[in-house]
């Protein structure tokens, strides 16, 4: 199949977006794409576009058909009903949406779900539940690492991945020696957790909870 511009489809990247209004080929070459290649057409897409994505969430394989605009956060909350991950600012500034993707903490609000094909996502629900708390979840309860609790899932997911970063020897802004193995003192902990804001200001208790688990791990 050759679209109007004469490019060979098989040699191009796969177009995943499919306009809700049109039929698609097996490779998902969208009519919108072909239309966009016509110089006269305006550079906008009027109808929502959907695409399929397969991800593993908390160990379970999930296949979704989503509007391409769906963030990973909205996919988790609105489509998979995993509402532990929170929407705070929705602009990567507060950290309430932090989840762990392929072992790394990210802001799920600033990431498109369709960009996570084949990824493995861990949310607060995947770390542990009421009957089998993750050590960090238990420590937050013990040290009262919250007041309203809204930032807590993000704080805990962030802390789990952060402890792995320390173990892997990643330096931080406050590390004196870039080449030395970092030690998680108070300044290091605060710097490394600065992407998680707590409006209630439970920081001292959050720091105590993380410090306890870090100590136990070391």
Ligand X SMILES: Cc1cc2nc3c(=O)[nH]c(=O)nc-3n(C[C@H](O)[C@H](O)[C@H](O)COP(=O)(O)OP(=O)(O)OC[C@H]3O[C@@H](n4cnc5c(N)ncnc54)[C@H](O)[C@@H]3O)c2cc1C
Binding site for another protein (CB under 8 A): 5, 7, 11-17, 19, 30, 32-33, 36-37, 39, 41-49, 51, 67-69, 71, 90-92, 95, 98, 104-107, 110-112, 114-115, 158, 161-162, 165, 168-173, 175, 178-179, 190-196
Residue whose Cβ sits closest to ligand X = 92
Strand partners, 99: 106
Residue 204's binding partner out of another protein, ligand X, none, with CB under 5 to 8 Å set by partner kind: none
Give the total of residues touching ligand X (CB under 6 A): 2
Is residue 93 a contact point for ligand X (CB under 6 A)? yes
Angstrom distance (rounded) from CA 123 to CA 10: 37
CB contact at 8 A, 28 and 16: yes
Nearer to ligand X, 90 or 164 (CB): 90
What does DSSP assign to residue 76?
I
Is residue 92 a contact point for ligand X (CB under 6 A)? yes
Written as six digits, the tokens of 184 are 């998680």
CB contact at 8 A, 26 and 10: no
Is residue 87 a contact point for ligand X (CB under 6 A)? no
Written as six digits, the tokens of 158 are 């962030």
Minimum Å gap between C-beta 7 and another protein is 8
What does DSSP assign to residue 112?
B
Residue 202's binding partner out of another protein, ligand X, none, with CB under 5 to 8 Å set by partner kind: none
The distance of Cα 11 from the centroid of its chain, to the nearest Å, equals 31
Minimum Å gap between C-beta 154 and another protein is 9
Nearer to ligand X, 133 or 174 (CB): 174
Pairing of strands 98-101, 60-67: unpaired
Minimum Å gap between C-beta 94 and ligand X is 9
Is residue 174 a contact point for ligand X (CB under 6 A)? no
Is residue 194 a contact point for ligand X (CB under 6 A)? no
Written as six digits, the tokens of 218 are 């070391």
Strand partners, 163: none
Angstrom distance (rounded) from CA 156 to CA 135: 10
Residue 25's binding partner out of another protein, ligand X, none, with CB under 5 to 8 Å set by partner kind: none
Nearer to ligand X, 21 or 194 (CB): 194
Minimum Å gap between C-beta 11 and another protein is 7
Burial of 185 (C-beta count, 10 Å sphere; 0-12/13-18/19+): exposed
Please give the span between the terminal C-alpha atoms of the chain, in angstroms, as a whole number. Answer: 59
Interface ranges with ligand X (CB under 6 A): 92-93
């Amino acid at each position: 199949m050759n679209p109007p511009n004469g490019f060979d489809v098989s040699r191009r990247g796969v177009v995943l977006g499919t306009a809700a209004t049109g039929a698609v080929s097996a490779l998902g070459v969208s009519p919108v794409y072909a239309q966009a290649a016509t110089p006269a057409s305006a550079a906008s897409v009027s109808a929502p576009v959907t695409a399929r994505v397969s991800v593993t969430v908390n160990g379970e394989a999930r296949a979704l058909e989503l509007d391409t605009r769906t963030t990973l956060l909205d996919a988790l909350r609105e489509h998979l009903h995993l509402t532990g991950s929170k929407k705070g600012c929705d602009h990567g500034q507060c950290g309430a949406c932090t989840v762990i993707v392929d072992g790394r903490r990210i802001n799920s609000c600033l990431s498109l779900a369709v960009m996570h094909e084949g990824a493995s996502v861990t949310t607060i629900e995947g770390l542990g539940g009421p009957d089998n708390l993750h050590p960090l979840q238990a420590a937050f309860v013990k040290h009262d690492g919250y007041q309203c609790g809204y930032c807590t899932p993000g704080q805990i997911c962030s802390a789990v991945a952060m402890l792995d970063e320390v173990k892997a020897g990643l330096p931080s802004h406050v590390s004196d020696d870039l080449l030395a193995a970092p030690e998680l003192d108070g300044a290091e902990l605060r710097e490394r957790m600065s992407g998680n804001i707590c409006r209630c200001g439970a920081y001292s208790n959050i720091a105590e909870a993380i410090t306890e688990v870090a100590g136990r791990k070391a």
